[in-house]
Structure 1
Amino acid sequence: MRDWLKAFRPATFRGVPFFVEVEEAEGGRRVAVSPIAYSDLHVTEDMGGQVRPFILSAYIAGDTSDVSTRSFVSALNAPGAATLILPMLGPVLVRVPHWRLSRERARAGYVGFEIDFVPAGLPALPFAAVPGALVIASLIAAGIDMIAAATAFRMRDVAPGQAAPSALAVTSAASRMTAVADASELTEDKRPAIADAIATITRLAAEPVAQASAIASAIVATVGVIADSASPAEAVEAFAVASVPAGDDVFELVSAAAFAAGFCQTLAAGDYLSRQDARRARDRISPVVDPVLDALSAGLDVSVNEWLSDIAATAASDLSAVAANRAPLVTVQTEISLPATALAYALYGDAGRAGELARRNSVATPAAMPISFEAIAP
C-alpha cells in the first residue's frame, strides 16, 4: 500500500518551510462566446489559457512558531518571483498577490495562513513588442530554480552507490553541451565562461545525488547562455541533435529539456526572409520538442513538461507572426540562363541581392542561374 506521507514533498517558499492543510489550484481556457442574432447558435473562440492561481491553507506550528512565522512572512512580502514547492503539484515559479494570517489564543503555537499564489509569467516590458527569442530566454531563466527543485526531488531516494548511471548522464550532457557550443560560432568573450561552466558540470558529475540541484541549475543556465550568444543558423541544428532523449535517467531528461528549449530560442531568433521560410521553421518545432515532452511526462515533474510546452508555444506563435508579415516565395522562369546580378536588379532594383538568389537555389555559379528558380516576391 502506498505510503502517502512519503509521497508528498515538504512545502517551501523561497526556501522557508511550512505545512499545508489544503492545496488548491484552478485552471481553464479563456473562451469568448459570441451569440448570433436571431439564432440558437453561438460562436466560441479560444483566447488562450486562464491564469492558474494556487490557493493554500497553510500553517506554522511548534515551539518556535513565532520565529518561523516572521521568516515566512518575510518570504511572502519579498518582491519578485520565487519558487514555491507544493506537496502534490511540485515546484512552480510564482508571485504572491495576497496573503492573510490568523492566530488563536486557544491554539498557542499554531499560526494559520490563507495564501494566493499566481504563476510568475513573463517579465513586463511596457511600450515595446517582445521578440519571441527574448521571451524564450526569459522563460528559460525563469525555469532554472523549478527544474533544480524537481531534479533534487527525483534524486532524493537514490543511494550514492546507485548513482553511476546518473553520473554518466551528467558527463554525457556536458559532452553534448561542448559540441553545441563548438558548432554555435560563439563570440570570443563568451567562450571562456561557457567552457568553465561545462567544466564545473563535469566535476559535479562525481556526486550526482548530493549535487543534483546544482547540476540541473548549471545545465539549464549554461544552455541559456549558449542560446543567447550563438549564431542562430548554426546553433539551431546543433541543439536539435543534442535534444534527442538518450535515456530515462533524470539528468538525461533535464539536459534534453534544456537543449530543446535552446533549440526553440535559436529557431525563433533566426532571420526568415519569406513566408515559407518562417512556416518551415515553425513546422520543425513539433518533431524536435514532442519526443522530449513524451519522455518528460514519464520521468520528471509535470511542471518541467509545462515549462517546455510554454517555450515551444511561444516559438510557434512568434514564427507564425513572422510568416504573416513576410512576402511569399514565387517561382521565376526565364527563357535563357542569366547572371544572378541581372536577375536581382530586374526583380528588386538591387544587384546586391544576387547572393541571396544563388544561396536560395543552391547555385554554385551565380553567373548562370537556372531558367526556373525560387525568389522572394518583389
Structure 2
Amino acid sequence: MTVAADNGFASAVQAMMETLRTACADPADAVRLLSSLAGYDPGGVPSTVPVGGAIFTITVCMGRFFRRAALSSLARACATYQPSSYDDALAVRLAVAPLYDAEILVAGDAEEDASYQALRSLRAAVLDDLMTRGSDLARLTTITTNLPQPSLALAYRLYRDASRSDDLIARANPVHPGFMPTSLVALSS
C-alpha cells in the first residue's frame, strides 16, 4: 500500500495512535492497547462486482495502514515501558513479536518491499531493546514459606532490605501485608 499524496488522513491516523499511546499513564497499558489495535482485521468479503471489489480492496489496505500505524506507536510504547524483571521483559517480547511477524508476512505477500524491510527493522529494534533492558534485571522465582509472614520480615529475610516489602505486596496481592501467602512469586535478588 502506498500513499501517493497525504491529504491529512495518514497524518491523522498516526496522530490518533500516538494520542492513544500518550493518553495511557502507564506504558504497560499503552503496550496492551496498541497490541490489540495491531491485530486489527477489518474483515470483508471479496467480490467479483467492480464496486464490491473496490470496497474490499480499500478495506484491506486500510486495515494494513491502521495495523502499521499501531505497530509504529507500539514500538514507542515498548521503548518507554520499564520491565520489572527479566521475565517481564521476556513476556512483553514474546507478546509483541508475533504482531510484527504477522504484518511482516502481510507486507511480504503483498510484495511491499519497503514496508517489509521497515517492519523487519522495527521488529528487530523493539525486540533487541526489550532484551537489552531486561537482561540486567533479576529473574522471578517462587518463594515458599511454612507459615504466613509479615511482608517486612519476608523482605528482610529474602533481600536484607525491608524497604522492598512494597514489591512483594504488589506481586502477591495479599489480603493483609502482615500475612503474606506461603507461596508467592518474587524477584530472585
Change (3 A) 1:309 1:274: same
Higher relative contact order (CA 8 A, sep 6+): 2
Whole-angstrom distance in 2 between the partners of 1:213 and 1:308: 24
Identity %: 24
Q: How does 1:144-155 map to 2 (within 5 A)?
A: 150-152=2-4
Q: What are the equivalent positions in structure 2 for 1:3-14 lying under 5 Å apart?
A: none
Alignment match, 1:240? 35
Gapped regions of structure 2 (runs ≥ 5): 43-58
TM-score normalized by the length of structure 1: 0.41
CA distance in 2, matches of 1:362, 1:213: 50
1:257 aligned onto 2:109:
no
Matches within 5 A, 1:1-378: 150-152=2-4, 213-224=7-18, 226-227=20-21, 230=24, 231-247=26-42, 249-299=60-110, 301-378=112-189
Over 3 Å counting, the alpha-carbon distance change for 1:212 and 1:299 in structure 2 is farther
- Aligned-pair distance for 1:235? 1.0
How well do the aligned residues superpose, as a CA RMSD in angstroms? 2.5
Larger radius of gyration: 1
Opposite residue 3 of structure 2, the aligned amino acid is: T
Instruction: Output the TM-score relative to the length of structure 2.
Output: 0.77
Taking structure 1 as reference, are residues 245 and 294 closer, same or farther at Cα in structure 2, changes over 3 Å only?
farther
- Give the deviation of 1:323 after TM superposition: 2.5
Letter in 2 for 1:333: T
1:187-214: CA deviation from partner (whole Å, max 9, x where unpaired): xxxxxxxxxxxxxxxxxxxxxxxx7553
Q: Tell me the distance in 2 between the aligned counterparts of 1:270 and 1:344.
A: 25
The 3-state SS of whatever aligns with 2:141 is strand
Distance 1:327 1:361 in 2: 17
Cα gap change, 1:284/1:271 in structure 2, threshold over 3 Å: closer, same or farther? Answer: same
Partners of 2:156 and 2:188 lie apart in 1 by 13
1:373 Cα offset (Å)? 1.6
> Which structure: greater strand fraction?
1
User: Counterparts of 1:297 and 1:271 in 2: how far apart (Å)?
Assistant: 32
Number of matched pairs: 172
Q: Secondary structure at the match of 2:8?
A: helix
Deviation at 1:225, TM superposition (A): 5.1
- Deviations along 1:285-327, one digit per CA (max 9) or x if unpaired, are 2222222223333447321232222222111101111222112
1:331/1:296 Cα in 2 relative to 1: closer, same or farther (>3 Å)?
same
